[in-house]
Amino acid sequence: MSSETWDRETMDDQSGRTVVVTGANSGIGFEVAKAFAERGAHVVMACRSLDRANAARKEIRADVDDAALSVEELDLADVDSVRSFAETFRTEYSDLHVLCNNAGVMAIPRSETADGFETQFGVNHLGHFALTGLLLDRLRETAGETRVVTQSSGLHERGEIDFADLHGERSYDRFAAYAQSKLANVLFAYELDRRLQAAEENVISVACHPGFAATNLQRRGPEKSGSRLRLWMMKVANAVFAQSAATGALPMLMAGTDSDVDGGEYVGPGGLLNMRGAPEKQRSSDRSSDEGLARELWEVSVDLTGVSYDLPDLRSTAGRSPAAEK
């Protein structure tokens, strides 16, 4: 499908499909949930705050007749909460067609999750790593091709994985920590797809990024640090430069539904500096395609979360992800 024409109206009918969207109560997650509901999917809104999630569900239902929406509690900053959500999902839902790993935090002052992880790395990467592993069997058991879509950022290109100080205990820069977590998202998406391909599963894994979209994500860092100047600058940037959250949701929607998108690919806006515009398949950074780095991150993630995957342990130390060749 040509990226020049891809928009919400391009989405195929999603009736009979079940979709999980993390962080579905606001911003891009809200728009992704709404778009899937418009196309007939049963959307599970996986959110930390049940009050905000229920308010968002009510808002979507006001615009979408007969929207099939469920709300479930999920705190990605707590592995026990991730396990509880996965257990509830496996008990109450028979299928999972698309898992949208969307929720995230950006450029916040250093803090730690319930498990002692640096919050940006813990929420953006480790929480979703654990969630995907715990829902993998449901994805496998669902008939037809199923997908895991992991939200990254163009800032992944600046990211480095600092295994010697993964949680920023010795030195912490909020934007470097964010970039590290977003690089981890792409590394994970590609490594997951390689392992799924090796196991000949019906599941594919895709990475995406929203470009520069006006959401609450940019506001939380300045708010938490008490910086009025940074908060004002973020508001101005959102007003002047950013595209809407609805447009920012398009890469995740394309990655989750378009038949021309294959596993191991990377989808983002095709306009100015890849920050806005219609979605297209793109090339991510060279570092994101380092299979040795991805495997090391995978092993560390298993150790930290206690969540392992019943997939082949790939031992190639060189090569590129499928997306890097496209």
How many Å apart are CA 54 and CA 56, to the nearest integer? Answer: 5
**DSSP letter string over 223-261?**
HHHT-HHHHHHHHHHHHHTPBPHHHHTHHHHHHHH-TTP
- Are β-strands 266-269 and 98-101 bridged in parallel, bridged antiparallel, or unpaired? unpaired
Active site residues: 178
- 129 contact partners, CB below 8 Å, separation of at least 6: 188, 301, 305, 307
In single-letter form, the type of residue at position 23 comes to G
Phi, psi of 128 (to 5 degrees): -75, -35
- Separation of alpha carbons 22 and 155, rounded Å: 20
Percentages helix, strand, coil for the chain (3-state, rounded to 5) are 50, 15, 40
User: 263 near 205, Cβ under 8 Å?
Assistant: yes
Burial of residue 210 (number of CB atoms within 10 Å: 0-12, 13-18, 19+): buried
Bridge partner list, 282: 266
